[in-house]
Amino acid sequence: MLADVTRMGEWSPVCKACWWDEGDTLREGAWFTGRNETPERTWETRSQVVVADRGREFAFVVGGTWTRWGYTFTPGDQGTVVTESWEFLPGGVARFEERFGEDAAAQIADRFRSAREGIPETLATLKRVAEAE
């Protein structure tokens, strides 16, 4: 489910739609575009799949160097345990420093806060959707 990026808008509180770029499909190295929305703004980003290990891990890097989103899957007592991670990469820090100057650290801190708040919501919604299928 998670590796089908076209469904990401079903469970993410921020990402409302995704599609594969240029007819691409799930594989390491593939690119996709996502449309994100918050009350303050709407934007699109391109991301590259960096891990596509079916049943074990799916991960992508936004902007190719900015942030890494990852999902790992491990067996649990009542099914599969999904762990979501988010990491701000050096390329993302440099981009924010260039874009926001002295306000970069505050902007980065805001993105960390948003990710920490969004991850539990994403996982809860993903669980609901998976159990309904």
Q: What top-level class would CATH report for the domain 5-132? A: alpha beta
- Residue 49 above 90 pLDDT? yes
Give the strand order in the sheet containing 57-62.
15-20, 31-37, 42-53, 57-62, 67-76, 79-88
Cα distances (Å, whole numbers) of residue 128 to 10, 36, 85: 11, 21, 19
Considering the chain, what is the average pLDDT of its residues?
Answer: 94
Task: Write down the pTM of the prediction.
Answer: 0.91
User: Whose CA is closest to 34, among 79, 67, 81?
Assistant: 67
| The pLDDT of residue 78 | 85
User: Whose CA is closest to 46, among 26, 20, 24, 69?
Assistant: 20
Q: Residue 3: which pLDDT band, with cuts at 50, 70 and 90?
A: confident
Give per-residue pLDDT as tens, 64-102: 999 999 999 999 998 899 999 999 999 999 999 999 999
Give per-residue pLDDT as tens, 93-123: 999 999 999 999 999 999 999 999 999 999 9
Domain boundaries, the chain: 5-132
